[in-house]
Each structure stands twice: as structure tokens, then as C-alpha cells.
Amino acid sequence: MDYFFIITVLVVMAAVFGYINVRFLKLPNTIGLMLITIVFTLGIFGLSYFDPTLLNAEKYILAQIDFRTVLLDIMLSFLLFAGALHTNFEQLKVQRWPVLVFATLGILVSTFLVGVGMYYVLQVIGLNVDFIYCLLFGALISPTDPIAVLGILKKAGAPKNLEAKIVGESLFNDGVGVVIFITIFQIASSGNGVVDPIQIVELFATEVIGGIALGLLIGFVTYRLLKSIDDYDIEVIITLAAVMLGTVIAQYFHLSAPLAMVTAGLIVGNDTVRASTMSEVTESYVDKFWELLDILLNTILFVLIGMEMLVLSFEGSYIMAGLIAIPLILACRYTSLLLPINFFKEKLNFAPKTNLIMTWGGLRGGISIALALGLTNEMHRELFLVITYVVVVFSILVQGLTVGTLVKKINEIYK
């Protein structure tokens, strides 16, 4: 079975499930696709008792796909560039300081709180897991997923300044979260639990600062190229080439490709840059191209997330740990946002109940699953995969479906 056939199967599934969602369920695409895929997979499980052909075929397809590599090394760059391209740059500029603190200090605090909480939770239910591995789980589950957030928040009706905070944090905190995850992963893998602090600083500087610097360079070069010509076909291709080349360079020099593409996307999508580089026709074609690519990759991604349940070991204690982890993670996120929100709310115009909305609207998605798939067996990979999957499914299906209602109710109360 070659890769073209596998891609064909995924695209066809995404198209069929997308049609069913739009025609009958009418849910946001990310939620609808994931829900339909999970129901479809459960149906295949049931059918396998009579004929295992479909189940074996689906398992084979999953076995040929390295989900972690496909998402983190390929799809994420395109999705983040598309998301940043359509982000309100002016609102993000106003909210830059709280976004920066949310994406750094907030993730660090959440990582520690989740790690401590999960350590004691697992002890209580009889699962003896070293603290460093619980901390590793805290690092992979703390970043909110920009792919999930961007797809759902657009329809939630949140105030623009609040939307800028949530989207801005989600665009940047995954890159920071991956760096924290890699650092703790190295500590956990070292055997003695010790890593040179200088190595940690160097890793952070290389991944984060280097990634942003590369993004600035890619964005500036793209801007100059777009400004020098007026041909919408070539200009669309230039933006595509910028993302692909930028990702290759980032991976070669071990920089953060997600942060590089977010930075480049914000530069190219800036209204001031658009006005000086793109005609109305070019702007329309660039936007439509990236919207289409964003939708296509999102549909494939959430179909894959739904199918990933086939590789999980659904033991009772693992599921119980996942269910307990849901309120724990929400409480840790709420706590991690308290200090920065209270610090900035007097200086900036914060919407009512910002912390509550950011907590409930901070969805987890494919990034957390991809990082969990990168754990080793010694790090209790199966356990944390199940916990992560339970949290992600709850996040997308429950939080994603209700965040819009929460925003509307808060808006009505505080009118």
C-alpha cells in the first residue's frame, strides 16, 4: 500500500465525514470530523467481531503513518502560518505582553502544577510513576492547541481583545511547550535526572529565539519579493515556498519551525504589509489558498486523531486516570493564568471572566497526542497516551461545543 493510496483514503474519509457533518450534524468542522471518526472507528470495532477486514485495514494505514512526524514536522508549519496570516495583528500587538506571559510563564506554571497533581493522582489509584515522567506529561498537555482553538473560536463570538489573547497564546505556546517538553525529556532520559543548566539555556535560545529570528527573516524576504511583483499566481507560490523552505531550514538548524512560521505569517498577514505588497486580487487569492489548505489539513488531522484510538490500550485504571486528569488540568490552567491576568487587567481592557473563558477555551489537540506518541515505554507511554487521548477528546467535543455558549452567557450577564 503506497503513500498516495493512504493519502487518498484519508482525504476521501475527510470529504465523506465532512459532508455528513455539514449536511446533517452542522457542528464546527473540527468537532464534527473528530466525533464522526470516533463513531466510525467504534463501528469498525463492533464489525470486527464478525469480519476483521476493515479493522485490519485501518490499523495498517495507521501503522504506515508516523503521526508525530507528520504533525510536528510537516502539517504544523502550514497550519500555523495559515492561522497567523489571518490573525488580527493590531489586536495581537496591543495584547503582546499578556500573550507573551501566558505562552511562557503560564506554560511553565501549568507544567509543574499538572506534574505534581498527576503524580499524587496516579499514586492514589495504584499506578507508581516517577515524578519526572508526570512532569513530562504536564509539559505535553499544558500547551493549548492553535489548530483546535483557531477552528472553533471563530464561531464562538468572543470579544476581539479576548480572541487575540487566546489565539495569540495558542500560536506561540506550542513552540515554547515543545521546548519545555524536550528539555524534561532529556532530563528523564539522562538516567541520573540531571542536565546542565547551560544546555537548557542553549536549547531554549536555539529553539525559541532562533525560530523567531528565522521567522522574521523569512517574513521580510517574502515581503520584499511580494512587493517587487504583481502576479497573484506567483505570489501565492512564493508564500507556499516560504513556509516549505522555512520549515526545512528550521529543522536543519534545530530551530522551532512552529515559532518561525507563526512569526512569518504575522508579518505577511499584517494589514500594513498587505496594503503595500498585494493588490486586492492577490490578497484575495492568497487568503483563499491558505484558507483552503488550512481546512484540508485540519480535516485530515482530526480524522487521524479520531483513528488514533485504535493504537491505545484501554485499561480501566488508565481511563480512570484520564477522567480524573480532566478537572485537574482545567484547575491547573485556571491557576496558572491568575497571576498574569490580575497583573495586566488594570492596564489593558480585559473582557469579563477572562480567566474562565481562557481556561474553558484553551483546547488540547493533535500536538499533545503527537508529543505523547514520542514517549518511550520506560516513560509509561501507553498510560500517558490514554490519559492524553481522554483529555483531548473531552477538550474538543465538550469544551469546544460549549465555549460559544459560555461566551454568550457571560456577554449577556455583563452587558
Same domain flag for 280 and 393? yes
Name the domain boundary from 63, 80, 102.
63
Do residues 140 and 114 lie in contact, with contact meaning Cβ atoms separated by under 8 Å? no
Same domain flag for 13 and 100? no
Percentage of residues of the chain with pLDDT beyond 70? 95
pLDDT of residue 211: 92
Do residues 99 and 165 lie in contact, with contact meaning Cβ atoms separated by under 8 Å? yes
Same domain flag for 33 and 103? no
Same domain flag for 51 and 107? no
Q: Is the pLDDT reported for residue 261 higher than 90?
A: yes
Please state which of the ranges 203-207, 246-250, 364-368 shows the lowest mean pLDDT.
Answer: 203-207
CATH of the domain at 333: 1.20.1530.20
Those residues with Cβ within 8 angstroms of residue 325's Cβ, 6 or more apart along the chain or in another chain: 118, 121, 141, 387, 390, 391
- Band (359; pLDDT cuts 50, 70, 90): very high
- Band (28; pLDDT cuts 50, 70, 90): confident
Q: Mean per-residue pLDDT for 16-25?
A: 95
- Band (249; pLDDT cuts 50, 70, 90): very high
| Residue from 174, 95, 86 nearest 362 by CA | 174
pLDDT of residue 149: 67
pLDDT of residue 207: 86
- Band (314; pLDDT cuts 50, 70, 90): confident
Same domain flag for 101 and 50? no
Same domain flag for 83 and 33? no
pLDDT of residue 193: 53
Structure confidence by residue, pLDDT tens digits, 287-309 = 999 989 988 988 898 899 999 88
pLDDT of residue 147: 65
Instruction: Count how many domains the chain has.
Output: 2
Do residues 119 and 129 lie in contact, with contact meaning Cβ atoms separated by under 8 Å? yes
Higher-pLDDT residue of 281 and 194 is 281
Rounded to whole angstroms, the maximal C-alpha distance in the chain is 65
Q: Is the pLDDT reported for residue 12 higher than 80?
A: yes
Same domain flag for 175 and 300? yes
Name the domain boundary from 63, 92, 115.
63
Same domain flag for 300 and 316? yes
Same domain flag for 177 and 32? no
What does residue 129 show for φ and ψ, rounded to 5 degrees?
A: -125, 130
Name the domain boundary from 12, 46, 63.
63
Q: Is the pLDDT reported for residue 405 higher than 70?
A: yes
Q: Mean per-residue pLDDT for 274-278?
A: 90
Structure confidence by residue, pLDDT tens digits, 132-145 = 999 999 999 999 87
- Band (369; pLDDT cuts 50, 70, 90): very high
Percentage of residues of the chain with pLDDT beyond 90? 51
End-to-end C-alpha distance for the chain, whole angstroms: 58
- Band (18; pLDDT cuts 50, 70, 90): very high
- 3-class secondary-structure state, position 64: coil
How far is it, in rounded angstroms, from Cα 251 to Cα 370? 17
pLDDT of residue 390: 96
pLDDT of residue 1: 54
Structure confidence by residue, pLDDT tens digits, 65-112 = 888 888 888 898 998 899 899 887 888 888 888 999 999 999 999 999
Alpha helical stretches, state H, 65-154: 67-69, 76-85, 89-94, 96-101, 107-124, 131-141, 146-153
Q: Mean per-residue pLDDT for 39-50?
A: 91
- Parent domain of 92: 67-413
DSSP category for residue 311 = G
Q: Mean per-residue pLDDT for 195-202?
A: 73
Same domain flag for 13 and 81? no
Same domain flag for 59 and 72? no
**CA distance to 47, 189, 379, per residue, from 52 (Å):** 7, 38, 32
Average predicted confidence (pLDDT) for the chain: 89
Same domain flag for 227 and 89? yes
Q: Is the pLDDT reported for residue 172 higher than 90?
A: no
In this structure, the number of other CB atoms found within 10 A of the CB of residue 110 comes to: 28
Q: Is the pLDDT reported for residue 195 higher than 80?
A: no
How far is it, in rounded angstroms, from Cα 112 to Cα 110? 5
Do residues 246 and 77 lie in contact, with contact meaning Cβ atoms separated by under 8 Å? yes
Q: Mean per-residue pLDDT for 147-161?
A: 67
How far is it, in rounded angstroms, from Cα 16 to Cα 303? 11
Structure confidence by residue, pLDDT tens digits, 212-235 = 999 999 999 999 999 999 999 999
pLDDT of residue 273: 87
